[in-house]
Structure 1
């Protein structure tokens, strides 16, 4: 399945380019339609800039900005923290772009937003020749491109991982992390057989109705051997494999393996639940590692958990490709400063600093090969494999509409509002319309 995922990833990237060409400059939902920008594309001007990003949970982003500011007193950067939800971040950036505001200069974009922002001319093309792209993870580099041009620089990558309570599995006689969904369920049953663990939740991910659900739903489908779209770009969510993937989540929720509270979890809610000792297994991005291992009293599971590949129906699962790229707003002033700031954050030194402080996935290939880093973060080889074999979400200009349709289908089925068949048949119809020429 892993090798097949790599082939599917390459094919999907090629198909995405055709889909994007067909979609033209149409926008997505949440105000994402039209509004092509009239900002300057010249990377000129130096002076203060603002960096729009999600919450800095570690403080290391501010630390790196402070170091930049100390070296560039006339080109200082101010961080503007956007809401915690990825959907809310996107909406805020779109609103800023549609008013052609120069409030933001550098945007911290989810990897899947590149096409939408580039097609609407909300971000400026970057000079590929000024970045050492051959030293970055190839899947991450592709997420920054639109029609073969670079619009966003990959600074953080991401692959889904399975965090698990190794101490509880050891006590229950489970010697290995589960590789399949059946093994995960069996392991959880053994843990919960102990009276002290009877109320612990078995499994959680990101199941609230937002972008995280699109990711988790996609991973379930992919990990059952299915796909959201096939190699030609045609939606395939009514396949038996897609049904098997969604049914894993539906049945786990129905049987109580996914706790009731977990349908409200985004990344941070789930992280806090895992750190409080409320979960045996948690699907999460690697940033959780450093926070869950904190020894300052904020985590009850420090040094008690392990990290493994995602499980699947018949073997190891397939992650959805995640990460964040830095782009320059078309309406920004001081674009030359913005470009240099992106180069600074994409540098090997800055990415090493970020990995050490946050355990987020770097995009520099060399950092996955440093033995000192592997010793500190033993999950790095697993993470690298997760990223290299990950499947991207549909890279379409109308992505806002696509992801909303996927969330609606998955949430409806998981909560029992719709049957799996009904949810997927409706989704198939919606995706066919959204990806049509």
Structure 2
């Protein structure tokens, strides 16, 4: 019955997506719905059971990269907890954002769910989405974690612990390459520059004769297109914030810059060469990952999560990892280092917070094998240091991690500079077409004049950021970091120097 409810809500969310898509902050769900009812979601509510005498935990997220490991974890967990049923729903990132709002509005929020991309913890807590987990987890639970996996406004608000981050931050923009496809096209060297990359893609496409292409990606997912553009622009030397974050450069939103134009010129060049797989604009990241493994493309820009999926379903796939290509003649550049992100928390109106917390403790334990199998299979770097030390044995994962560490830099974030930044992020609205949408338009050839689109995005974003700053009483100058040197990590000392 509960699964049917979730399915119904997902359909409802899909119908509502058009009206929600233009909003930067999530729609408010406050009011009477988040009053005294949710305050009862404590120990008494946790004792409620289903008709069969079992507790049903409903969990919704987007962790497709670890689907097999999660399935095994659930089997073992329910064997060890015969009084618990787990109903797990996995969506794409884009589906999740709209679906979770609909579920919570209807009063059918799952017991455990992550914060949608682009929503801050402060906003989610104010809207009554989550309750603290402090009182439900064991005293030694926090001691297992890397100290860097905790951050004010990400996992904690003051002394209250609301969410657990899923993984230690690792960049999601390195390029996988299919060695056999490159060999067949006569590409002998792994490209490192824009021109080398475009030429390699051209050769592969020409040799593929309509069956194999240079580049494939999940073009249907705007977030993946945004990551692609931002990483290429950063590699060109641009001062560009990480996805969903805001940084100004020379007083303006840094979209209409030489570095961003170079990045989009490369994508346009691949389109002109017909080197991008024609299905790209219509497929998701998991679908792109599948077609890459089938040998339909030479390159794919995604994250570490691909590794385990390919090892499971395509054990003979002959592939490697390379850094983000840079413009010819450019050196000592970077890509934006991964930022700590909030992930799973307990719904404030959950009837089973105690059982939900027990699930979380098991999910992050070595005993149940989820963390260790994900690290061993190359899916992610765990937030539990002892597990990384014991289980990081996958060679491709080591290669990905090494390149990520060598090429990424910690970029400044306004949240660490001004406490009003969380209010700012809750206030700002998306400007359309967004950067990801512009990249989609280039690939689909629906936006031929992307330079004008970038200029408009920069101008309108600058206006919107200034408006949002004024609305929350934040100094617009806090969005710019004049002492930021992209050749090195931005440090606490750098923040202090601006005070």
Structure 1's unaligned 5+ residue stretches are: 1-26
Pick from 361, 368, 376: which aligns with 1:356?
A: 376
Distance 1:239 1:144 in 2: 30
Residue of structure 2 equivalent to 1:4: none
Residue of structure 2 equivalent to 1:155: 166
Structure 1 length-normalised TM = 0.77
Q: Is structure 2 residue 324 aligned with structure 1 residue 310?
A: yes
Distance 2:391 2:374 in 1: 17
- Rg bigger for which structure? 2
Distance 2:445 2:210 in 1: 25
Residue 146 of structure 1 and its aligned partner are, at CA, apart by 6.5
Q: CA RMSD in A?
A: 3.8
Residue 347 of structure 1 and its aligned partner are, at CA, apart by 2.9
Structure 2's unaligned 5+ residue stretches are: 1-20, 48-54, 415-421, 470-499
Distance 1:284 1:201 in 2: 17
Residue 280 of structure 1 and its aligned partner are, at CA, apart by 0.7
In 2, are the aligned partners of 1:62 and 1:79 still within 8 Å (CA)?
no
**Structure ranking higher on relative contact order (CA contacts 8 Å, 6+ apart):** 1
Residue 122 of structure 1 and its aligned partner are, at CA, apart by 1.5
Larger CA deviation: 112-121 vs 202-211: 112-121
Residue of structure 2 equivalent to 1:121: 128
Residue 324 of structure 1 and its aligned partner are, at CA, apart by 7.2
Residue of structure 2 equivalent to 1:10: none
The 1:211/1:191 distance shift into structure 2, 3 A limit, reads closer
The 1:371/1:272 distance shift into structure 2, 3 A limit, reads closer
In 1, are the aligned partners of 2:150 and 2:156 still within 8 Å (CA)?
no
The 1:146/1:404 distance shift into structure 2, 3 A limit, reads farther
In 1, are the aligned partners of 2:429 and 2:464 still within 8 Å (CA)?
no
Q: Structure 2 matches for 1:223-242, cutoff 5 A?
A: 223-226=235-238, 227-228=240-241, 229-230=246-247, 235-242=253-260
Residue 326 of structure 1 and its aligned partner are, at CA, apart by 1.1
Q: Deviations over 1:357-402 (max 9, x none)?
A: 5634433344444476244743353365289636699972257736
The 1:433/1:165 distance shift into structure 2, 3 A limit, reads same
Larger CA deviation: 130-139 vs 323-332: 130-139
Residue of structure 1 equivalent to 2:220: 208
Distance 2:99 2:264 in 1: 31
Residue 332 of structure 1 and its aligned partner are, at CA, apart by 1.1
Residue 267 of structure 1 and its aligned partner are, at CA, apart by 0.8
Distance 2:290 2:364 in 1: 29
In 1, are the aligned partners of 2:213 and 2:296 still within 8 Å (CA)?
yes
Larger CA deviation: 90-99 vs 36-45: 36-45
The 1:111/1:408 distance shift into structure 2, 3 A limit, reads closer
Residue 94 of structure 1 and its aligned partner are, at CA, apart by 1.0
SS of 1:155 mapped into structure 2: coil
